[in-house]
Amino acid sequence: MSILKFVPSLLVPSFSLLMLPTVILPGYLEGAIAYRELEQSLQQQGLPTVTVPLRRRDWLVTLGGKPVTPILQQLDRTVKQALEQYNASRINLIGHSAGGWISRIYLGDKPYSSLAQVDLTTPWQAHQYVATLITLGTPHTSLERWTRWSLDFVNHNYPGAFYPHVRYVCVAGKTIFGQRRRGSWLAYSSYQLTCGQGNCWGDGITPIVAAHLDGAENLIIEGVNHSPRSPGLWYGSPSILPFWVTYLA
């Protein structure tokens, strides 16, 4: 597993390439509006980009460990529209936070269902449409009871960078070291719930160890916070974008 480390104060050369359309999948309990700046920043660099038009309330049906099928359905519609609109055979996919592991379900060939039902949902099989999957602060593993079933489903059926024809890029933040003291208690609790250890580095929500996948191109960026609503820099801030946007080539 290779890990590249970046510090935001460094300068990264700009690039100019003919790009595939890009689809952004928001994180858990987040709507498309929070990703407007990221979407516009990518478009300004000549990257045709759309965000799955989720509203925060669209996630309510997934609470309590229920299947994320409604999110997958909206993702699929957006991808198919992007393919048609840009006359493309493939797209690049950016998944933030939970959007990253939901994207891995979307790539897959196995029927996805919940523990409480036998649901022979047609597999999405979207690996044929996706050139690159970039995950931003995604907890690819978790001990949290409400998401563990879905994540176990993903990691059992599609471990690591599963599809060799898809480029997997996993971006983690090294910003807050989890400790049981003021200012880092939330990070400590979140890291512990995710990987079982609170005393580690992460973006304030997702620990580095959970944000990376075996076989992927794994990046660490210092000084980025987890969410677009966090104070300061996050993964999609204009000054941070150059550290991972070239992987959309």
Architecture of domain 2-248: 3-Layer(aba) Sandwich (3.40)
What does the pLDDT read at residue 57? 96
- What is the value of pTM for the model shown? 0.92
DSSP state, residue 47: -
Instruction: Indicate whether 231 pLDDT > 70.
Output: yes
Least confident of 104-113, 162-171, 232-241: 104-113
- The answer for residues whose C-beta is within 8 angstroms of residue 184's C-beta and 6 or more apart is 176, 177, 178
pLDDT tens digits, one per residue of 119-134? 546 789 999 999 999 9
Contact present, 98 and 146 (Cβ < 8 Å): no
**Mean pLDDT rounded to a whole number for the chain:** 91
- The answer for residues whose C-beta is within 8 angstroms of residue 159's C-beta and 6 or more apart is 214
Instruction: Indicate whether 2 pLDDT > 70.
Output: no
Residue with more model confidence, 235 or 118: 235
- The answer for residues whose C-beta is within 8 angstroms of residue 31's C-beta and 6 or more apart is 54, 55, 56, 58
What does the pLDDT read at residue 19? 81
Least confident of 42-51, 145-154, 171-180, 226-235: 145-154
What does the pLDDT read at residue 184? 86
What does the pLDDT read at residue 3? 67
What does the pLDDT read at residue 14? 44
Each as own residue / partner, the long-range contacts of residues 128-131 (CB below 8 Å, 24 or more positions apart, any chain) are 128/90, 129/79, 129/83, 129/89, 129/90, 129/91, 130/90, 130/91, 130/92, 130/93, 130/103, 130/166, 131/20, 131/90, 131/91, 131/92, 131/166, 131/167
CA 187 to chain centre: 19
Instruction: Indicate whether 216 pLDDT > 50.
Output: yes
